[in-house]
């Protein structure tokens, strides 16, 4: 998940939880306020009911008149007066079916409250000279219940709107937050090995993004220095290494050209010449390996038809391995010729494919080697299959390491540089290499290359 989406989700989650708590708190406190207000009204009526029913005298008539004239008649309002003989024994009439805890609370604490299904009950204990009484007043509150239902609907609508606004705000917040990072990513994508002199624009401030840009620029400085050093080495190594090697080879050939040299001298000279030639091949391969992985500049890049390149590679390998048997399968090629074209350096690609096809012929003792070419989803697939000695499973992960040779290749000449060089070339062309091998059964190497962008047909 992208950082922007994570920030949006985090902002949305925190905002939604906050809105839930906020709206729940509003509904809770409003409902508690309504309940408290209603119970206070019941409490006032309980006192009036006590004055009217427990103390019947001239004032009772006045209280009754005041209640009927000035107090609003509540919905389903009823009064109950219960005389109790003893406060220790709960033996008295219960005109209202309420939980026993309600009556016990009235007796022990002096009053109690209870509500169920929008029916409210308030009970109060009155101690008089004539005895002890419990007055219970009950009523319903449809208007209050309706107000709470309206509040619930309003809060729900406001909550939905707030959630949507929170999501939009989260998107805006995340986009604004990652904008500097997006700019850095866009600029980094434009920096490659052939323009390492470019730097990211430093940001104002001392925040993490400014530190990231500064760190990346410092890394580019180090990379540019390292690449420049490698470039100098690659440029000078050919002359510095090959010149003395050429002299050694020439002097050795002069020795061999002389007449009358002893057999021991001739044998030694041939050994020197053999190893000088071998060293020359190693140096050439190492220089090729270094150059292929150096800068990625598209020097001498052109449109290359893979089918024609495969034919050229097969002919070149047959000249090196005259006894090789190479079979090319073009049956899966598309009818659109432009889909067979990739972009790259034809000499490098020919070298990479020749390495793989040559290895297939060499390590299979010139048994049949199949080359199959196909195109799918804008990618060119080249499969090279042999019936040779294969590669031990535990060693397959190391075959692209320089100078590594499988344990079963001791009878074959090689330096362990061809496949690393091939991998660098394929990566340089934005491709990939896959391998599937089994000892004593053979090896299949598959190279994937992109179809040229200029020729790629999109639906």
| Alpha-carbon distances, residue 438 vs 137, 354, 402, 434 (angstroms) | 93, 22, 22, 14
Burial of 96 (0-12, 13-18, 19+ CB in 10 A): middle
DSSP assigned state of 451: P
pTM: 0.48
Q: What is the model's pLDDT at position 458?
A: 37
Q: What is the model's pLDDT at position 457?
A: 39
What is the number of domains present in the chain? 3
Average pLDDT over residues 19-39: 90
Average pLDDT over residues 6-34: 90
Average pLDDT over residues 366-389: 92
pLDDT higher than 60, residue 258: yes
State pLDDT tens for residues 124-181. 988 877 778 888 989 988 888 888 889 999 999 999 999 999 999 888 888 888 887 7
State pLDDT tens for residues 212-224. 888 888 888 888 7
Are 248 and 376 in a shared domain? no
pLDDT higher than 80, residue 1: no
Q: Is residue 379 part of a domain?
A: yes
Are 333 and 437 in a shared domain? yes
Are 288 and 416 in a shared domain? no
Are 232 and 317 in a shared domain? no
Are 125 and 34 in a shared domain? yes
Rounded to the nearest 5 degrees, what angle is found at the Cα of 355, between the Cα atoms of 354 and 361? 85
Q: Is residue 175 part of a domain?
A: no
Average pLDDT over residues 246-253: 87
Confidence of residue 421 (pLDDT cuts 50, 70, 90): confident
Q: What is the model's pLDDT at position 193?
A: 66
Q: How does the average pLDDT of the chain come out, rounded?
A: 83
Of the two residues 419 and 183, the one the predictor is more confident about is 419
pLDDT higher than 80, residue 59: no
Q: Is residue 95 part of a domain?
A: yes
Which residue, 231, 260, 292, sits at the end of a domain?
Answer: 292
Which of 45, 17, 189 has its CA nearest to residue 111?
45
Residues 6+ positions from 364 with CB-CB distance below 8 Å: 386, 387, 388, 389, 442
Separation of alpha carbons 310 and 308, rounded Å: 5
Confidence of residue 314 (pLDDT cuts 50, 70, 90): very high
Are 307 and 420 in a shared domain? yes
Q: What is the model's pLDDT at position 71?
A: 65
Separation of alpha carbons 125 and 105, rounded Å: 10
Domain encompassing residue 96: 3-147
Are 310 and 432 in a shared domain? yes
Q: Is residue 242 part of a domain?
A: yes
Q: What is the model's pLDDT at position 301?
A: 75
Q: What is the model's pLDDT at position 456?
A: 44
Average pLDDT over residues 288-311: 71
Q: What is the model's pLDDT at position 75?
A: 83
pLDDT higher than 90, residue 65: no
């Amino acid at each position: 998940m992208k950082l922007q989406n994570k920030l949006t989700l985090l902002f949305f989650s925190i905002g939604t939880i906050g809105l839930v708590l906020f709206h729940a708190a509003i509904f809770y406190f409003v409902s508690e306020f309504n309940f408290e207000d209603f119970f206070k009204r019941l409490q006032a009526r309980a006192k009036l009911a006590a004055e009217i029913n427990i103390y019947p005298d001239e004032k009772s008539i006045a209280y009754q008149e005041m209640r009927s004239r000035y107090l609003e008649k509540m919905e389903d309002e009823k009064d109950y007066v219960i005389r109790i003989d003893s406060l220790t024994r709960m033996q008295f009439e219960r005109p209202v079916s309420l939980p026993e805890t309600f009556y016990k609370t009235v007796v022990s604490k002096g009053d109690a409250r209870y509500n169920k299904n929008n029916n409210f009950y308030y009970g109060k204990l009155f101690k008089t000279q004539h005895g002890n009484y419990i007055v219970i007043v009950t009523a319903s509150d449809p208007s209050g219940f309706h107000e709470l239902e309206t509040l619930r609907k309003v809060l729900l609508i406001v909550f939905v709107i707030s959630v949507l606004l929170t999501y939009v705000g989260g998107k805006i917040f995340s986009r604004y937050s990652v904008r500097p990072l997006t700019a850095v990513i866009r600029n980094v994508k434009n920096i490659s090995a052939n323009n390492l002199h470019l730097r990211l624009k430093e940001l104002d401030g001392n925040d993490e993004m400014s530190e990231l840009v500064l760190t990346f620029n410092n890394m580019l400085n180090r990379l540019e220095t390292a690449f420049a050093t490698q470039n100098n080495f690659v440029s000078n190594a050919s002359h510095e290494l090959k010149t003395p090697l050429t002299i050694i080879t020439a002097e050795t050939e002069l020795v061999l050209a002389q007449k009358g040299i002893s057999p021991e001298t001739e044998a030694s000279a041939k050994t020197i010449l053999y190893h000088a030639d071998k060293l020359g091949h190693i140096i050439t391969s190492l220089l090729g390996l270094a150059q292929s992985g150096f800068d990625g500049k598209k020097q001498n890049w052109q449109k290359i038809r893979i089918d024609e390149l495969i034919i050229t590679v097969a002919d070149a390998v047959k000249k090196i391995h005259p006894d090789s048997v190479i079979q090319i399968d073009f049956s899966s090629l598309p009818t659109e010729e432009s889909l067979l074209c990739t972009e790259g350096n034809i000499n490098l690609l020919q070298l990479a494919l020749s390495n793989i096809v040559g290895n297939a012929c060499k390590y299979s003792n010139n048994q049949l080697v199949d080359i199959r070419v196909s195109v799918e989803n804008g990618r060119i697939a080249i499969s090279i299959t042999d019936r040779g000695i294969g590669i031990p499973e535990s060693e397959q992960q190391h075959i692209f390491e320089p100078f590594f040779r499988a344990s079963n290749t001791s009878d074959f000449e090689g330096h362990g540089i061809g496949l690393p060089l091939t991998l660098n070339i394929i990566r340089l062309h934005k491709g990939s290499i896959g391998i599937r091998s089994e000892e004593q059964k053979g090896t299949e190497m598959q190279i994937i290359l992109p179809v040229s962008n200029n020729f790629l047909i999109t639906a």
